[in-house]
A and B are shown apart, each in its own frame.
Chain A
Amino acid sequence: MTMSFRKKIIFYVLLSVSALILFAPTIMAVVMSLMTSQDILTGSAPSRLILDNFIQTFEHFPLLQFLLNSFIVSIVITIGQILLSSLAAYAFVFLEFKGREFLFYLFIATMMVPFEASVIPNFHTIRDIGWIDTYQGLTIPFFATAFGAFLLRQNFKQIPKELREASQIAGMGHFKFYLTVVMPVAKSSLVTLGIYGFLTSWNMYLWPLLSTTNDSVRTVQIGLKQLQSQEQLNQWGVMMAGAVIVIIPTLILLFLGQKKLQKGLTEGALK
């Protein structure tokens, strides 16, 4: 792109300022996690940078356990979502049955129901089955996502019908076609959905808070909150250290998958 030098400078200044504003909380968290609590409370600039906060986080509370729980919960939800969404999307695209369109729009309509509205009935169900404080209680309510089914349906629709017909002639059933053709062909969308699902479940707060009563299966987000209230005097440095550790997996995933994520979400928008 050609742009005059002056214009370029203005653009870059504006971009830098807005990036700084957006990123400020994160920067603060990182800096605070390296400061002594004295510096933090007096509000002065850091006199020296230390790693004590990180060591304390691991010593004072079961961060590793929380991290492990978070990983288990996120991965299980991700796999469950991919599996159920792709099966639903397959049915919406490749099976012909009466009322398919209607059912699909009904499906999509559930996207408009906010998660908070379904929390109470979900909680009742989980409690009645006795799944409080279990991994299945934390994960299974999130397996079915209208968004996932929608995303994959749009992607599956781009698979030419002839591929299905060719495999029909070759004598291949629906399930085998789904496994050997549809899933590999739609790989990039599956990755997108996977990353998206992982990030949302990693950052989940309300549901783990409701459906857990002790540390055994609690996720890291709840753990962070606990850090705040456990001590009388808030140890901001330790908390921030915890927060920094928690965002590391998300950041790694984002850096690795950003291209894929963008590609997958906008796929089919053009063409």
Chain B
Amino acid sequence: MSQVELIELSKSYEKQKDILKAINLFIKEGEFFVLVGPSGSGKSTLLRMIAGLEEISGGILKINNELVNHLPPKDRNLSMVFQNYALYPHLTVEQNILFGLKAKKVGKQEQQRRLKEAAEMVGLTELLKRKPRELSGGQRQRVALARSIVSHAPLCLMDEPLSNLDAKLRSNMRVQIRRLQKRLGFTTIYVTHDQVEAMTMGDRIMVLNDGKIQQVGRPITLYNEPANLFVASFIGSPKMNIGKAHFLAKHKRLTVENELSITVDPSIARGLPLDRPLTIGIRAEHLLPGTTENTTHYLEVVNVEQLGNETSIAFDVGTELWTAKWPGQWPIQVGQKVPVHLSSEHLLFFDSETGSLIQSASQAKKQEVLVI
């Protein structure tokens, strides 16, 4: 299995400078590594550079400790799954799957053996004689996967492979791809703009924005301790509630969006700088329903979404729209003032100017320690 190393990798086009800026990254053998970012962040370009489809403007790319900057794609020993699957429309499923092997002059018997194996793995055995246009989206996707499997390449690149599928199929395929990868053990670099895919599939995630690495880490780390405001609002659904805040050290009180006043626990207050404008963040599931004992605020409801297993409630807080996610079904009407419990131990503190994290939620950290 391959390991991939990127050292100060950068990309510029003639017309557009710095699509990617000094990317440093190490992807371990057998890892499922996800590149995630909004469209235009340069994630696909980075993947295509690793594949050799895009020229490298600067920096070093190593696969298995070998410099591959100028190696053509075929010599990098990798396979790739494309967003539109890139199936050859005039060939049958079987021919499509074996296409790469024929080009690499693999023996006939070996071809058939691998075909059988891959077709069984992705459940295409019945469809081998069909043409791609006679297949559904999910089936085409599986052909593309099978093509990648038969190549036995130690590194597999996937460029938004699920974005053309409908939601149900997508979650099904997520599990399938993940299981396949664990079973065969190939190193995977997976590009997506969908943070749910990133969270659920990746061993590690890299968040990319404007050609710069925002954060690299395990999904849970990114969720609990986002390095900056961008990662905080990008990872997680619904997105993290964010608000401008003033911290008055004397009273140990925090004023959020000039509306909410929160008492800050002394242990948390210690870590906060006094002279800088702050932005606080709180996850939707931490904006709890208030009981008679612990209600801290009353907020006016502007929207309610009943999801059955949980209820999503939106509030106006200053200029921001905050959402809370409460388990169970809550009979709440729009316009009603509901009691909430807002505790400082769930708050994340960011520097308003640089956007970087000052202090993550103390509560989340405790939970993590318990699990380990």
Contact = CB atoms under 8 A, between A and B. Distances in A.
**A and B found bound together:** yes
Interface of A: 160, 162-163, 165-172, 176, 181, 184-185, 187
Interface string B147-166: 00001000000000000000
Nearest to A172: B103
B82 interface: yes
A166 B103 contact: no
Contacts of B72: 168
Nearest to A171: B74
A170 B86 contact: no
Nearest to A162: B86
A199 B82 CA distance: 42
A168 B86 contact: no
Given A162-B86, A163-B88, A185-B90, A168 B53 contact: yes
B217 interface: no
A170 B99 contact: yes
Interface in B65-103: 72-75, 78-80, 82-86, 88-90, 99-100, 103
A166 B84 contact: no
A181 B88 contact: yes
Interface of B: 51-53, 72-75, 78-80, 82-86, 88-90, 99-100, 103-104, 151
A63 to B, nearest CB: 41
Contacts of A162: 82-86
B257 to A, nearest CB: 47
21 contacts: A160-B86, A162-B82, A162-B84, A165-B51, A165-B80, A166-B82, A166-B86, A166-B100, A167-B99, A168-B52, A169-B73, A169-B79, A170-B103, A171-B73, A171-B75, A171-B100, A171-B103, A172-B74, A172-B103, A176-B103, A181-B88
Contacts of B73: 165, 168-169, 171
Nearest to B53: A165
A170 B79 CA distance: 8
Given A168-B53, A169-B80, A170-B104, A163 B74 contact: no
A170 B100 contact: yes
